[in-house]
Amino acid sequence: MGGSRSSLTLTIRPASASDAGRLAELRWEFRSGRAPPAESREAFLARCAEWMHDRLTSAQWRCWVALRADAIVGHVWVRLIEKIPNPATEPEWHAYITNLYVEPAARGGTGGALMDATIAWCAAQDIDAVFLWPTNQSRTLYMRKGFNSTPDIMAQRRPPDA
């Protein structure tokens, strides 16, 4: 029947370790076009799926997946970063959002829905700063979701060819 993927019902759910193979494929789709891969697709998928399987069973990582017609079409990951205990009342974790990716055919609200699930989860945890690295194109999405450039965080970046 007709209809684009993005017109199919959208479901967002937490990822499970059994999703790792599919999520590794999405990672390859996302990153292999950005710079020439230094390993074969097969080698990368095996390495990345193993890495993701481990992280999806770890307390330090969370991932949400977007499904249309029961197929995983996108994902977003969160790495929890522990702070040193504080005697004052202060949240004891930071959260780093990374790897937001939606297949081109499923775009149009899907990325925002993944971000909504992630942000809602972070808001319900003992989390202080939630941060990410936008691209020029994705900056507007994150700004709509309440992210701003902040003057109180300092960072050093390694030069690209170092």
Ligand X SMILES: CC(C)(COP(=O)(O)OP(=O)(O)OC[C@H]1O[C@@H](n2cnc3c(N)ncnc32)[C@H](O)[C@@H]1OP(=O)(O)O)[C@@H](O)C(=O)NCCC(=O)NCCS
Beta carbon nearer to ligand X, 70 or 89? 70
Nearest to 34 by CA among 101, 118, 127: 101
Residues 6-65, interacting with ligand X (CB under 6 A):
30
100 binds ligand X (CB under 6 A): yes
**Minimum distance from CB of 48 to ligand X (Å)?**
16
Nearer to ligand X, 92 or 143 (CB): 143
Q: Which of 14, 37, 91, 109 binds ligand X (CB under 6 A)?
A: 109
Nearer to ligand X, 47 or 144 (CB): 144
Which value, to the nearest 10 degrees, does the dihedral of the CA atoms of residues 61, 6, 29, 76 take?
-10
Residue 83 or 134: the one with the smaller Cβ distance to ligand X is: 134
Piece in contact with ligand X (CB under 6 A), picked from 33-41, 55-63, 102-110, 122-130:
102-110
| Contact set with ligand X (CB under 6 A) | 30, 100-102, 107-112, 134-135, 137-138, 140-141
